[in-house]
Structure 1
Amino acid sequence: MYQPISGFSKQSKEQKIDWLAKTYLKNSPEAKNIIKQYWNTDQKLQQLHDEFSENTISNYYLPFGIAPNFLINNKLFSIPMAIEESSVVAAASKAAKFWGTRGGFKTKIIDTLKVGQVHFSFVGDFDKLSSFFKKIQPKFQEAAKPITQNMEKRGGGIKSVQLKDKTNLLPDYYQLHCEFETVDSMGANFINSCLETFADVLEKEAQLYTDFSSEEKEIEIIMSILSNYVPECLVRAEVSCPLNEFSDTTTIPGKQLAEKFVRAVKIAEKEPYRAVTHNKGIMNGIDAVVLATGNDFRAIEAGAHAYASKNGKYSSLTHAEIDGENFKFSIEIPLALGTVGGLTGLHPLVKLALQILGNPSAKQLMEVVAVAGLAQNFAAIQSLITTGIQEGHMKMHLMNILNQYKATETEKKVLVNYYKNHVVSYSDVAIQLEKLRQ
């Protein structure tokens, strides 16, 4: 029988932990200790973390790393990355160094518009609705003035409000499709507040519109919400070099390696099974920087994957080509980011991450994040078409495996040295540890 707990949110942290341990963890002292050992000893800092979300009982740590040597538009960056996956930071760093000696990364902001929509139902004549919309259109901006004043001072605000007929998708379905400029803030709260104001205007003005029938006056607002699909908030990052400079090995000529690289990217453009993993590698780099800078990686993920499907089939977010005697590799991706508001002014590590990046504007952060994704993808493809992904990845993963087997510091030292010249695998690590322990 379903018996929900009542008043859980009102309990203290200790009470929540006691209930959790008693109900799901066999009242284990060890389980309680695991939860508490991640508490910050600085009570003010811990309270800050507790108040980021609801029903918090502990902190969940991710490694905070640095990928140095990124030359972006002739300026040197060290990029903060928050990620738990082995080899991501190392791969990004390697790619940064490779391209740093070949002119570095070049970026361009294509646009920064963000989107929100008021979804509503209207039963009646569309021509009348269209005339009504044209008549009341100035009232949307006017009603939102108290919300937009500060944003407008910073150069942002409402850019457009359009009426869209979506009855080909659902009966009686229409929307206000709205575009915004939010400058250095991600702008979710700003956009949603504007949209709810627009919805209120739409409903109230419909009741007063004399050309509507009684049925047409009853516009029903379904919802008012920003969209995380922002195909007009785009950034491009690219690298290029002569073919004879593309290889950093003596075994594979640059032209041959570049041709194989381009072929690998073309496969990701055409084959969805490959494209998903290909783009996941891009997001390894992007999400890590988005997390480190206090932005919403879930929104970025959703928007990026939607953009990858913009032509009706899921495809690669990066593109490569050989143009004459030059190799070119690029990414174009929607990134709705902020450097003010939200966690950016609250989380100490987020503030530090932004400081490391030189306290960038939202546009500059878009450029850095796109570069991290391109670098990560470059490193992954280079590994795939040469040594294979496992050689480098598993060597970076070695310490995790050793920790799982509870290796001592002496054992770790011996095996790290051993695997400089051997292939890492779970089974082989177990064998080598057994030999040491005998």
Structure 2
Amino acid sequence: MEKNSRIPGFYKLPVEERLKIVAEWAGLDEGEVSILGNFGNLPREIADSMVENVIGGMTYPFAVAVNFRINGKDYLVPMVIEEPSVVAAASNAARMLRDGDGIKSVAGPQEMIGQIHIVGARAPYYKAMKILESKQEILDEAKKYSETIVKLGGGPKDIEVRVVDSRMGPIITVHIIVDVLDAMGANTINTIVENIAPMIEKITGGEARLRILSNYATRRIVRAWARTNPDNVGGREIAERIVEASIIAEADPYRAVTHNKGIMNGVIAVALATAQDHRAIEAGAHAYASRTGVYKPLSTWEIDEEGYLVGSLEIPLQVGTVGGATRVHPVAKIALKILGVKTAKELAEIMAAVGLAQNLAALRALVSEGIQKGHMRLHARNLAITAGATGELVEKIAERMIKDGKITYEYARQLLEAYLRGEKV
């Protein structure tokens, strides 16, 4: 019988009923239903209130990177990630960058951009000037829809206008700049642009097509930099090779993407732990890497006049410590408590610092023992567990696979079977 995914009122059903329907659809057995229906450290009621059509939970490892010293202050950094060796690599690189104040990191104003796109306006360049002429009136109107944040010192700060060409003809693009303080800002921005759009339409005689924030957070840039003795990374030769790897990323976009992926390993792991909008962060970061028209690395490594290895990173980061999932998810609250941060600015600075450290760790591994060494050790453990090993046997089987150079599920299973027969592993 053909399956039918048209299920009217599915969202109205209790979680258990939704799970039962999906289980029947997919032929899930009792064990699979039990696993899927286990919400772990996220209460079912909260999960069901966060998104639609919830049927279960999925837990990722929550780890803590150690050794971080950022702006003269020590941090334990929560990271949520499934990729082997990332947390160990971040901790190792943080140790290499602990001298003095450690990694320096500075976030700029916490400003976001709300966009209103106007189409069908006659004399668009003239109308753009009319919008700027009415700037104060527009800002005053916008403040009515962000009174709470205005009282705290934030809110609408400026108006920018561009006319962009398109297949539809000229589009007047209005940017309203809003200081969102410690929020990520999406809800505040969207409320403002939706409510002031009619005012813009009246000024221009056009129609507002899109009214939403931009995730290209170019007014929320964070810069991080660090300096370390080459001996900390394995010597002068390793340091020079790290610089060469950085130069290759600058020259080759195919390499630059992977270079930046290593940075985002750290940034997104912290974002997940603290329940940030990691999709927005990724989109903004990669757009920023392409701002010259060619995709470039977000970080650069060099040797300074004293022979020290120095690295710098520049990235847009739209994060929050109030509102959204950050204050709803119980684990995110704990993550922020572990970090000890109170402001979005400090959180952004930590995330950029972790991204720079993660980048150093990846480059160092690439130019020395190779990226796979750390990966494969943890991969071997995962394979041993998958094969059915438990307790101390996991490490024994993993070590044997590494020693023999045969890191596969099949070999893990063979070693486990040998152990069960009483043979030495």
Normalising by structure 1, report the TM-score. 0.89
Q: Name the CA distance, whole Å, in 1 between partners of 2:332 and 2:168.
A: 43
Query: Where do 1:173-184 residues align within 5 Å?
Result: 173-184=171-182
CA distance in 2 between counterparts of 1:3 and 1:177 reads: 41
Quick one: distance in 1 between partners of 2:99 and 2:373?
25
After superposition, residues 24-423 of structure 1 pair within 5 angstroms as 25-26=26-27, 28-36=29-37, 38-40=38-40, 45-101=43-99, 104-167=102-165, 170-205=168-203, 217=205, 219-243=206-230, 245-248=231-234, 254-324=235-305, 325-418=307-400, 423=405
- State which drifts further: 415-424 or 194-203: 415-424
Tell me what 1:211 maps to.
none
Bigger drift between 187-196 and 411-420 goes to 411-420
Deviation at 1:312, TM superposition (A): 0.9
Question: Given residue 239 of structure 1, which amino acid in structure 2 is its aligned partner?
Answer: A
Question: What residue identity is the alignment partner of 1:378?
Answer: L
Once structures 1 and 2 are overlaid, which stretch shifts more, 125-134 or 136-145?
125-134
Asked if the contact 2:93–2:360 (Cα under 8 Å) also holds between the matched residues in 1, the reply is yes
Task: Choose 73-82 or 317-326, whichever is displaced more.
Answer: 317-326
Q: 1:391 to 1:20 in 2, by over 3 A?
A: same
Structure 1's 221 and 403: CA in aligned 2 closer, same or farther, altered over 3 A? same
SS of corresponding position for 1:71: strand
Q: Partner residue of 2:419? A: 436
Q: 1:433 to 1:296 in 2, by over 3 A?
A: same
CA distance 1:131–1:388, shift in 2 (3 Å): closer
Displacement of 1:198: 2.0
Inter-partner Cα distance in structure 2 for 1:284 and 1:238: 18
Deviation track 1:206-233 (CA, whole Å, cap 9, x = no partner) reads 5xxxxxxxxxx3x111110101101221
Residue 365 of structure 1: SS of its match in structure 2?
Answer: helix
Helix, strand or coil at the partner of 2:114: strand
> Residue 235 of structure 1 contacts residue 366 of structure 1 at CA under 8 Å; is this kept in 2?
yes
Check whether the contact 1:141–1:158 (CA below 8 A) recurs between aligned residues. Answer: yes
Contact 2:289 2:295 in 1 (8 A): yes
Task: Verify the 8 A CA contact 1:284 1:376 in the aligned structure 2.
Answer: yes
* Deviation for aligned residue 1:131: 4.7
3-state SS, counterpart of residue 50 of structure 2: coil
Is the Cα–Cα contact under 8 Å of residues 79 and 356 in structure 1 kept in the other structure? Answer: yes
Q: TM-score, normalised by structure 2?
A: 0.91
Q: Which 10-residue stretch deviates more, 2-11 or 358-367?
A: 2-11
On the 8 A contact 1:230/1:334 being kept in 2, the answer is yes
SS at match of 2:97: helix
How far has the Cα of 1:132 moved from its partner?
3.2
Once the two structures are TM-superposed, the CA of residue 140 in structure 1 deviates from its matched residue by 1.4
Paired residue secondary structure (1:48): helix
How far did residue 422 of structure 1 move? 5.8
1:74-123 superposed Cα distances (whole Å, 9 cap, x missing partner): 11100011111111111111111122246521112244322121011034
In 2: Cα distance, 1:78 partner to 1:270 partner: 35
Whether contact under 8 Å (2:109, 2:220) holds in the other structure is yes
- Write the distance in 2 (CA, Å) between the matches of 1:168 and 1:411: 63
Deviation of 1:246 after TM superposition, in Å, equals 3.9
Question: Residues 99 and 228 of structure 2 are in contact (CA less than 8 Å); yes or no, is this contact kept in structure 1?
Answer: no
Does the 8 Å contact 2:135/2:159 carry over to 1?
yes
| Segment of structure 1 superposing worse, 9-18 or 378-387 | 9-18
2:8 maps to which of 6, 9, 34: 6
Q: CA deviation at 1:242?
A: 3.7
Amino acid at match of 1:397: H
* Secondary structure of residue in 2 paired with 1:147: coil
The answer (yes or no) to whether the contact 1:321–1:327 under 8 Å persists in 2 is yes
Q: What is the RMSD computed on CA atoms of the aligned residues?
A: 2.3
Contact 1:67 1:79 (C-alpha < 8 Å) held by counterparts: yes
SS in 2 for 1:79: strand
CA distance in 1 between counterparts of 2:28 and 2:417 reads: 35
1:112 and 1:335 map into 2 onto residues whose CA distance is: 9
Secondary structure of the residue that 1:65 maps to in structure 2?
A: strand
Please say if residues 143 and 150 of structure 2, whose CA atoms lie closer than 8 Å, have aligned partners that are also in contact: no
Question: 2-side partners of 1:345 and 1:163: how far apart?
Answer: 34
Partner Cα distance (1:48, 1:343) in 2: 10
Measured in 1, the distance between the counterparts of 2:187 and 2:41 equals 33
CA contact (8 A) 1:111 1:235 kept: no
Letter in 2 for 1:366: A
Shift in CA distance, 56/247, structure 1 to aligned 2, threshold 3 Å: closer
- Structure 1 residues 403 and 174, CA, compared in 2 at 3 Å: closer, same or farther? same
Question: How far is the alpha carbon of 1:153 from its aligned partner?
Answer: 2.3
- Mapped to 2, the partners of 1:88 and 1:94 lie a distance apart of 10
